[in-house]
Amino acid sequence: MAGPATRLDSIFVRRLRLPIRVGVTAAERARLQFVLLDLDLRVDLGRAGVSDDLSETLDYGAVTSGVAALLEGMEVQLLERLAQAVAEFLLAQDGVVEVTVSVAKETPPIMEETSGVGVRIVRTRG
């Protein structure tokens, strides 16, 4: 007899644009830069899908405000550290079992033209 099916539900946030001091060089850290975050949070949405009740799901408004508060005043050298801090915050939210965090710099310190460079990490609770 098969066990209960695993839900593959997720809540996502795209292109959350936030200012932070990030970079290896002093010139990069001398000013705030905007980073773009894409967040994918694995969470069971079954109860909310039936009840239509916000208390049965993860409030993405609260999540985005929490990430913004986390980054406020933060200074990091690497996008990897920034992504890890965001992932740790998200995994601490009730019901979140896995997160994918993508962070991109709008204006990376490279000569070639690009729409952004960044990192993507996947972290699982436990």
* Catalytic annotation, pick one of 33, 87, 105, 118: 105
User: Cα separation of 91 and 42, whole Å?
Assistant: 10
Count other C-beta atoms under 10 Å from residue 56's C-beta: 15
Active site residue 125: no
Tokens 């099916």, located at residue: 5
In this structure, the strands spanning 33-42 and 10-22 are antiparallel
Task: Sheet with 10-22: list strands edge to edge.
Answer: 75-76, 10-22, 33-42, 98-105, 117-124
Asked whether the beta carbons of 74 and 82 are under 8 A apart, the reply is yes
Please list, in sequence order, all residues whose beta carbon lies within 8 angstroms of the beta carbon of residue 4, skipping any fewer than 6 positions away. Answer: none
Active site residues: 105
